[in-house]
Amino acid sequence: MPGLELDDLTLWYERFGRLDDGPRLLVFNGSGATIETSRPLLDKLGEVADVLVHDQRCLGRTGIPVSADDRPPTMADFAADAAALLDHVGWDRCAVFGISFGGMVAQEFAVTHPERVTRLALLCTSPGGPGGSSYPLHELADLDPDARSARYLTLLDTRFDDAFLAEHPFDRMIVEGMQARNALPKDPEVLRGERLQLAARRGHDVWDRLGRIACPTLVACGRTDGIAPMSNSEAIASRIAGADLRRYEGGHMFVYQDRRAFPEILEFLAAG
């Protein structure tokens, strides 16, 4: 995995997929997600695109910037990292894909550098400000483990309870897999990095700047998402001229829950 030396961190990244053959695609992962934990999603994107993805600051191999204690990272920092990465690999313009927190960074990048974005896919995310914010996940840290797990379950999909999961084995498999991963012990520095990311997330607000985005834009959401409610995606689409809003069955994991979702998203990205 190559690294890009910035002022106070090394940004680790990968490029793969249809190298120099498919449309160029910059990917932003979600809260706490790294390249390694996002492999299934990234591999699908690599089927149609020349993919560039990095471990965002505070996460994965990139880790926490030296300056984080004195100046916690902001959403503008996350977007600036991506711009520096594009310069480093020699990409003037590309398509951009962002999911959840990554969708917030993708919005920040797109409103700051609209000339560099050829098309934009925003999944299960929020604009902030009057358009609505995603659930304040940092508040879950104050709950005891059982209460935190139960609350997170209903945030993932507002339908999720024991009765629903008993009747929907695929959804139950998704939940059990996430619960197993969340139960694994984490290094204190990993937890610190995740907290810093969530702190930056609290300041996300591109509502008044969304009109700067003029490229083809797909806004996709789950009807029963408790983290990034469908109304937030509707608000994003209302501010971007010509945006294609698509509502899918499922919650924050709708890309896995609704079989229509990923093929349609890939079709949109491949068109670029």
Residue 33 tokens, joined: 């997600």
User: What is the reported pLDDT for 62?
Assistant: 96
Gap between the Cα atoms of 133 and 199, Å rounded:
13
Residue 243 main-chain phi, psi, to 5 deg: -60, 140
Query: pTM value?
Result: 0.95
What is the Cα–Cα distance from 121 to 253, expressed in whole angstroms? 16
β-sheet bridge partners, residue 14: 53
Place of tokens 């993708």: 106
Residue at 178 is within a domain = no
Contact 109, 79 (CB under 8 A): yes
* pLDDT tens per residue across span 21-36: 999 999 999 999 999 9
Q: Report if residue 63 sits inside a domain.
A: yes
- The confidence score (pLDDT) of residue 41 equals 94
DSSP string, 73-120: --HHHHHHHHHHHHHHHT-S-EEEEEETHHHHHHHHHHHH-GGGEEEE
Cβ neighbours around 36 below 10 Å, total: 12
pLDDT > 90? residue 249: yes
Considering the domain boundaries, does residue 171 fall inside one?
no
In a domain, 144, yes or no: no
List pLDDT tens digits, range 34-52.
999 999 999 999 999 999 9
The CATH number covering residue 237 comes to 3.40.50.1820
Task: Kindly report, residue by residue over 53-90, the tens digit of the pLDDT.
Answer: 999 999 999 999 988 888 899 999 999 999 999 999 99
Q: In the predicted model, what is the mean pLDDT of residues 231-258?
A: 98
Counted domains in the chain = 1
Pair of tokens at residue 200: 């930056």
Q: What pLDDT is stored for residue 251 in this prediction?
A: 97
In this structure, is residue 250 part of a structural domain? Answer: yes
Q: Examine residue 180 and state whether it is found in any structural domain, yes or no.
A: no
Distance of CA 152 to the CA centre of its chain: 17
Boundaries of domain holding 237: 3-134+188-270
In a domain, 162, yes or no: no
pLDDT in tens, 91-133: 999 999 999 999 999 999 999 999 999 999 999 999 999 999 9
* Residue 149 covered by a domain: no
Q: Which residues of 186-207 are buried (b: 16+ CB within 10 A; e: fewer)?
A: eeeebebbbebbbebbeebbbb
Structure tokens at 8: 């106070």
- Neighbouring CB atoms inside 10 A of 246's CB total 18
The rounded distance, in Å, linking the Cα atoms of 59 and 189 is: 9
